[in-house]
Chains A and B, each alone.
Chain A
Amino acid sequence: RKEVEQDPGPFNVPEGATVAFNCTYSNSASQSFFWYRQDCRKEPKLLMSVYSSGNEDGRFTAQLNRASQYISLLIRDSKLSDSATYLCVGPANAGGTSYGKLTFGQGTILTVHP
């Protein structure tokens, strides 16, 4: 099983819609996760950190469900500019030598249309 798995989509939603992405992880000991946004031909950029039950920043809400081992990202009132690939990121599994290492989900493609 992959360390971090997410639905690759694509998700196509109209402007103003609410969209949610889920991501599951395999290591129950993992403490913190991230959602990154990657625009076409650009580097990933940190969107949100999630290291407790959840985090909210404007239209974006990230939640962590430790019992079910999944992380979600909710985008409300979608904008055209939200179109991007969203990467779910968690800590690597392999013991002490994994300090600082992260493992990336395969990314979920979101397209917001007029």
Chain B
Amino acid sequence: SAVISQKPSRDICQRGTSLTIQCQVDSQVTMMFWYRQQPGQSLTLIATANQGSEATYESGFVIDKFPISRPNLTFSTLTVSNMSPEDSSIYLCSVMGTGGVASNYGYTFGSGTRLTVV
């Protein structure tokens, strides 16, 4: 399965600032996904990042708050903009497993970014 390098692993940020999270994959993948996991909660999909097109956002998430870049097939960034304490969460990127068919291979996740906004 793909190996994902995600950074930073954690950060403490002042409210009103922005943080950019990076994910590097060791193989080319068509689709990358960004998730949020709030304390004590399960994962919620933020958006799908495709190379060469704008990201597709889920209900409740907007591009101005969570701009995403996907410059090539191995890299993506998620920015959390104008942060507030409510943005404190774990952010995870993921890709489909080998073969590119989620139904058979599931997802591989980055190690996550633990964000605390103060």
Interface, chain A (partner B; CB < 8 A): 31-32, 34, 36, 41-46, 49, 51, 87, 89, 91-92, 97, 99-107
B67–chain A nearest beta-carbon distance, Å:
20
Q: Output the nearest chain A residue to B50 by Cβ-Cβ distance.
A: A100
Q: Output the nearest chain A residue to B105 by Cβ-Cβ distance.
A: A49
Query: Is B80 an interface residue when CB atoms closer than 8 A count as contact?
Result: no
Which chain B residues numbered 92 to 107 have a C-beta less than 8 Å away from chain A?
Answer: 92, 96-97, 102-107
Assembled-state Cα–Cα distance A41/B56 (Å): 27
Interface residues on B, range: 20 to 34
A100 and B102: CB pair below 8 A? Answer: yes
Interface, chain B (partner A; CB < 8 A): 1, 31, 33, 41-45, 48, 56, 92, 96-97, 102-112, 114
B42 and A102: CB pair below 8 A? Answer: no
B104 and A102: CB pair below 8 A? Answer: no
- Chain B residues in 8 Å Cβ range of A104: 42-44
Assembled-state Cα–Cα distance A34/B114 (Å): 24
- Chain B residues in 8 Å Cβ range of A34: 106-107
- Chain B residues in 8 Å Cβ range of A31: 103
A46 and B107: CB pair below 8 A? Answer: yes
